[in-house]
A = this chain, B = another copy of it.
């Protein structure tokens, strides 16, 4: 680990929320060159990450203050890097894709060191961390759940005894499947593989269903 997260103003971004969603952005542009007029193509599916961010943090007239979203950016030019957004502390976030991507772009303009685990607070409730899946798995607290269509139904789990008191860490992929290496790492740490629908859904749709199961039964 690089810089000790205890040195930062505020808490460790990986340990400050009860509900954590970690989204793999396999091709997502990893610096301030996100192109707002082409989030889908040239920016490596930042449209999907922006939707995941918004779906994960927004209520109708409030934020989910118990939730953090961690977007793992694996696209060029500066991977791997995580941008973490804490629903309790973030400011200036709007629900539309363009505005939320613009806020992420602004934060990603800050230069980040090369040592795995280095974390920088770039604005209220937003942190950058150098590292990939292993770094995240080293840092998080509480059980790991892999979201996958093949998993056990989360609502059934909640009705039949629940999934503990949290904090929880839900790992989802973007529009691409998890790679074999990612799956192997995650399965070695996962407390369970969960599904939320009989159909195959977009990441942001699955996140809304996870929240709903926890809101109802958590």
Question: Taking beta carbons and an 8 Å cutoff, which residues of A are in contact with B?
Answer: 37, 39-40, 47-48, 51, 55, 58-62, 94-99, 175, 196-202, 204-205, 208-209, 212, 215-216
A176 to chain B, nearest CB (A): 11
Please determine whether A47 and B97 come into contact, CB atoms closer than 8 angstroms. yes
Give which listed residue, B55, B59, B95, B199, contacts A215 with CB less than 8 A: B199
The contact of A200 among B51, B59, B208, B209, by CB within 8 Å, is B59
Q: How far is the CB of A25 from chain B (nearest CB, A)?
A: 14
**Which of A37, A39, A48, A202 is packed against the most chain B CB atoms within 10 Å?**
A202
Complex Cα gap A59–B199 (Å): 8
Kindly identify which residue among B198, B208, B216 contacts A208, using a CB–CB cutoff of 8 Å: B208
| B39 lies within 8 A of A96 (CB) | yes
Chain B residues near A58: list those with CB within 8 A. 202, 205
Q: CB < 8 Å: which of B39, B61, B99, B196 contacts A40?
A: B99
A-B contact pairs, 30 of them (CB 8 A): A37-B37, A37-B98, A39-B96, A39-B98, A40-B94, A40-B95, A40-B98, A47-B96, A47-B98, A48-B95, A51-B95, A51-B96, A55-B204, A55-B205, A58-B205, A59-B200, A59-B201, A59-B202, A60-B175, A60-B199, A60-B200, A60-B202, A96-B97, A196-B212, A197-B215, A198-B216, A199-B215, A208-B208, A208-B209, A212-B212
Complex Cα distance, B96 from A59, in Å, reads 20
- Cα–Cα distance between A175 and B95 once the two chains are bound (Å): 11
CB distance from A66 to the nearest CB of B (A): 12
Which residue in B51, B98, B99, B200 is a CB contact (below 8 Å) of A61?
B200
Smallest CB-CB A-B distances: 8 pairs? A47-B96, A60-B200, A97-B97, A40-B96, A208-B208, A205-B208, A60-B201, A198-B215
A51-B96, A208-B208 known; 10 new pairs, CB 8 Å cut-off, are: A37-B37, A40-B99, A48-B96, A51-B51, A60-B202, A61-B200, A97-B97, A98-B98, A197-B215, A212-B212
Q: How far is the CA of A55 from the CA of B200 in the complex (A)?
A: 13
